[in-house]
Structure 1
Amino acid sequence: MSDMKEIKLTYFNIMGLGETLRFMLSYMGKEFEDFRIPTFPEWVNNYKKKMPFGKLPLLEIDGKPYHQTMALCRWLGKKCGLAGDNDDEALEIDMLIESFSDFRSTVWVYFYNSDEENKKKIRPRIIESMTPFYLEKFDNIIKENKFLANGKLSWADIYIVAVLGYFSFMVEMDICEKYENIRDLRDRVHALPGIKEWVEKRPQTHW
């Protein structure tokens, strides 16, 4: 597995969580097959039951399947020196990632809510209260330290920048337009060799 000669990423035809792995692999200079399932019915009928736990993204390395986005990003981060130089630095990265996961869970409750009346009811708390609560904290951390953890680039920066378009779509606002330090981090991550090339050539999707 260490050579990673053949890499295939299976995900939907969106950025979403799959973009985190696309960014990490691109940063590492790894060539990979970006396999996108075009429709939800095709996913349900032809692919879902074949997945280890019925979920995506799936990363296949030299024919062996691996799953769970954050575990994979953390593992790739270790491979390329972006997982911290010691246990304390790794902890700081994980704390930021887990905090972002709390934010993600909060937004998902709102975005994927099929009860429109309930969605309207919880919208003020999710969009007008919880969203700025988290984003202001992330923005201030970047303002003070230039990065999200340990004052230097880590896989947390790449992970979070990779899903900014996805989250902007879900919270119905351009996160990078309102929060200048998050925008600055996005621009610096997008300028990294490998990631810059990926962003320029990736398929254009709304989220």
Structure 2
Amino acid sequence: MPTYRFRYFNLRGLGEVPRLLFALAGQDYEDVRIPSEAWATEKPNTPLGQMPVLDIDGKPFCQSSAISRYLARTFGFYGNGDLEALQVDQALGVVQDVITAFLKSKFEKDAAKQEELMKEMKEVKIPLYFGMFEKLLKNNGSTGYFVGKKISLADVSLFDLCDKVQPLVKFADYPLVKKCNENVGENPKIKAWVKKRPVTDF
């Protein structure tokens, strides 16, 4: 088994899905959290001048989605075969749409514009995208998983997303999303990680 070293800031942010996958797999790794004030020094040591970075036997790789997909395939959380992988990927596409819209609103510097974007996020985009999640979960037989009857990268990614956008979502309106979120959150390995992970703002 390779030696893994995962480098990211002391945030959940773009680094939490890989950490959740390590936890779910029961795989040891070095969780390196770079202080923001040390980023200028660390930046030249990354492949593309950005984090997260996954070092595999000392060789660095970047891009959070690429890292998550690699870990999911390696640990068996990417479905069985190409069609199930496609099911995972279509859910991940919706997750990314939500994240893109959410980050745009969260980091808008103009206060009035930010309020407008957050309102649109809550009233328009969350219902749109979470309605899509409901459809995908229903199409899988309402099992509470996106693929079959076990956790995949899609479920882990939705769990992480729900954590980030929780104040904007009325989960009672999305029972299958709620069920999926609970399925992941109640997994003993995930539960143990969430309990012990550092408390961060985002």
TM-score by length of 2: 0.85
CA 1:162–1:120: 2 relative to 1, 3 Å? closer
Whether the 8 Å contact between 2:72 and 2:152 is mirrored in structure 1 is yes
**Residue type of the partner of 1:197?**
A
What residue in structure 1 maps to residue 157 of structure 2? 159
**Residue type of the partner of 1:185?**
C
What residue in structure 2 maps to residue 188 of structure 1? 183
| The one of 82, 87, 90 aligned to 1:87 | 82
Corresponding position: 1:197 with 2:196: no
Equivalenced residue count is 199
The CA distance in 1 between the partners of 2:12 and 2:156, in whole Å, is 13
CA 1:176–1:30: 2 relative to 1, 3 Å? farther
Counting only pairs closer than 5 Å after superposition, residues 52-201 of structure 1 correspond to structure 2 as 52-142=47-137, 144-152=141-149, 153-168=151-166, 172-173=167-168, 176=171, 179-201=174-196
What residue in structure 1 maps to residue 10 of structure 2? 13
- The Cα shift of 1:30 comes to 0.8
CA 1:126–1:200: 2 relative to 1, 3 Å? closer
With a CA cutoff of 8 Å and minimum separation of 6, indicate the structure with the bigger relative contact order.
1
Q: Write the deviation string for residues 80-120 of structure 1: whole angstroms up to 9, x where unpaired.
A: 22212221111121111112111211111111111223223
The CA distance in 2 between the partners of 1:180 and 1:206, in whole Å, is 27
**Residue type of the partner of 1:157?**
D
- The Cα shift of 1:121 comes to 3.5
The CA distance in 1 between the partners of 2:156 and 2:8, in whole Å, is 18
CA 1:78–1:175: 2 relative to 1, 3 Å? farther
Whether the 8 Å contact between 2:79 and 2:85 is mirrored in structure 1 is yes
CA 1:123–1:167: 2 relative to 1, 3 Å? closer
- The Cα shift of 1:47 comes to 1.9
SS in 1 for 2:168: coil
Whether the 8 Å contact between 1:13 and 1:36 is mirrored in structure 2 is yes
- The Cα shift of 1:175 comes to 5.8
Whether the 8 Å contact between 2:4 and 2:54 is mirrored in structure 1 is yes
The CA distance in 2 between the partners of 1:91 and 1:142, in whole Å, is 14
- The Cα shift of 1:134 comes to 0.9
**Residue type of the partner of 2:15?**
G
- The Cα shift of 1:177 comes to 6.6
SS in 2 for 1:163: helix
Structure 1 gap segments, 5+ residues each: none
SS in 1 for 2:182: helix
Structure 2 gap segments, 5+ residues each: none
The CA distance in 1 between the partners of 2:158 and 2:112, in whole Å, is 31
Task: Give the superposed CA RMSD.
Answer: 2.3
Corresponding position: 1:33 with 2:30: yes
The CA distance in 2 between the partners of 1:145 and 1:180, in whole Å, is 10
